[in-house]
Amino acid sequence: MNIPVDTDELTKRYGEHLAVDRMNLTVLPGEIYGFLGPNGAGKTTTLRMLLGLVRPTSGEVRLFGGPPGDLDGVGALIESPGFYPYLSGADNLKVLARYSGTDPLRVGEVLAMVDLADRGKDRYSTYSLGMKQRLGVAAALLKDPRLLILDEPTNGLDPAGMADMRVLIRRLGAEGCTVLLSSHLLGEVQQICDRVGVVSHGRLIAENTVAELRGGTVLHIEADELVRAADLAKRWIGDENVRVSGTGLDLIVEPDRVSWLNRELVTEGIAVRELHLRERDLEQVFFELTGEVAGHVG
Partner 1 sequence: MWGSCTAELAKLVRRPANWFMLGIAVVLGLTFTYLLPLAGAAGATSGAPGTDRGLAATMPENLVGNSIGGLPVFLGAILLVLGVLAVGTEYGWGTWKTVLTQGPSRLTVYSGKLCALAVATLSVVLTSFATGAITSAVIASSEGEPLNWPSIGALLTGIGAGWLIGMTWAVLGAALAIAMRGVALPIGLGLVWLLVVQNLLFGVAAPLLDWVNTLQLALPGANAGSLAASLGASDGAPGIGELVGVSQATLVMAGYLAAFAGLGAWLLRRRDVL
- Minimum distance, C-beta of residue 81 to partner 1, in the bound complex (Å): 7
Indicate the residue among 100 and 262 with the shorter CB distance to partner 1. Answer: 100
Cβ at position 283, least distance to partner 1 in Å: 30
Q: Which is nearer to partner 1, 73 or 215 (CB)?
A: 73
- Pick the closer one to partner 1 by CB: 14 or 260: 14
Closest CB to partner 1 among 67 and 298? Answer: 67
CB contact at 8 A, 62 and 92: no
Burial class (CB in 10 A: 0-12, 13-18, 19+), 130: middle
Minimum separation from the CB atom of position 79 to partner 1 (A): 8
The CB-of-101 to partner 1 minimum distance in angstroms stands at 5
155: Cβ contacts below 8 Å, ≥ 6 apart = 80, 129, 133
Distance CA 218, CA 276 (A): 8
* Min separation Cβ 95 and partner 1, Å: 5
Instruction: For partner 1, give the closer residue by CB, 64 or 83.
Output: 83
Closer by beta carbon to partner 1, 52 or else 59? 52
| Least distance in angstroms from the C-beta of 104 to partner 1 | 11
Nearer to partner 1 by Cβ, of 91 and 222: the residue is 91
Binding site residues, partner 1, CB under 8 A: 48, 51-55, 69, 71-72, 74-76, 78-87, 91, 94-96, 98-101, 136, 139-140, 142-143
In angstroms, what is the minimal distance from the CB of 83 to partner 1?
A: 7
Distances (CA, A) of 215 to 54, 208, 250, 252, 297: 36, 10, 14, 10, 21
Please check whether residue 179 is in contact with residue 33, taking contact to mean a CB–CB distance below 8 angstroms. Answer: yes
CA distance 184 to 149: 15
β partners of residue 181:
34, 150
